Amino acid sequence: MTLRCIPYNSQMANEWDKLVGQARNSTFINQRPYLDYHSDRFDDASLVFIDKKDHITALLPANYNTTTHTAYSHQGLTYAGLILSHNIRTEQIGEAIGAAIQHYRQMGAQRLVYKPAPYIYNKYPADEPLYFLSRHGARLTARSLSQAIYLPQAIQMNTLRHRKVNKSINAGNHVCEEHDTTQFWHILDHTLQTRHNVHPVHTIAELQLLMQRFPKQIRLFTTKDNTGETLAGTIVFDCGQVVHTQYLAASDKGRQVGALDQAIEHIMTNIYPDRTYLDFGVSTEDGGKILNSGLTFQKETFGARGVCYDTWELNLLAET
């Protein structure tokens, strides 16, 4: 063994975040200030992997659910697979996966649920963990579908989107950045309750906290009319080469005038024109078993095409 595996503790926070900033397959949501904002909901079971020279070379954001006897990577994140330094070797990644499996077994875990980052978020190829997980018997158990725009060669928006953008502009609406999420959150909450009978994953207080911790990475852009009324908006997670629209919503009035279309076109053209992908997020439900065709079509009309968000599971009770 060339690596040793130890549980994360808060004294390692700076070193953890340093590697996250330098890794080939990480984004800011893997940093401790993001992971720890909902620490009251999840029992942290993150792991740190250290080589023979005492260098941290890999990380695994994770939590453990004692009720289901399951280790997750990580329930509070959209994706959170093994975070890899650029220098870690393939054999060492295999050691890290094996050490993680052994650690969670010793904790009493019966399952490991693993959610790797979609490939568009990786700064450099990083599929080695999936190879080793499959060798241990892991299986792909869920596949959700997102739609993303490849911005350097974006497929042109269709005529419907252009008409809606122009309609909103001609109505005198304008897009601006806001720092108070209250008005937008209520529009979002109404939309989600009306259409899906759910509330946003984040509360107003949580969004404000995260925006304070990550003012450059988490931003709110809204479309307002000439009276200052908020008509639509999107909360954007800036993940480097990928810009992810975490939330999208419009009021009834906003939908009529194309206010959300104007906001999306604005961030593509004026705020993040130098990025590689604009990821709209998943358009599926129930682990990918149900496709929301209307939502998929809406994203496709902006020029977005499919990207998979996968979930792997490993039975830790089986011999591997």
DSSP 70-123: EEEE-TTSS----EE-SS--HHHHHHHHHHHHHHHHHHT-SEEEE-PPPGGG-S
DSSP 284-306: EETTTTEE-HHHHHHHHTTT-EE
Nearest to 121 by CA among 299, 267, 281, 265: 281
Nearest to 80 by CA among 43, 37, 47: 47
At 112, the amino acid letter reads L
Exposure string for 49-65, b = 16+ CB within 10 A, e = fewer: bebeeeebbbbbbbbbb
How many C-alpha atoms does 313 have within 13 Å on its Cβ side? Answer: 10
The reported pTM is: 0.93
Report pLDDT digits (tens) over 220-269: 999 999 999 999 999 999 999 999 999 999 999 999 999 999 999 999 99
Report pLDDT digits (tens) over 96-140: 999 999 999 999 999 999 999 999 999 999 999 999 999 999 999
Taking the CB of residue 84, how many other CB atoms lie within 10 A of it?
25
* Residue 286 vs residues 211, 289, 292: alpha-carbon distances, Å: 29, 5, 11
Report pLDDT digits (tens) over 168-188: 999 999 999 999 999 999 999
Contact criterion met (CB below 8 Å) for 263 and 222: yes
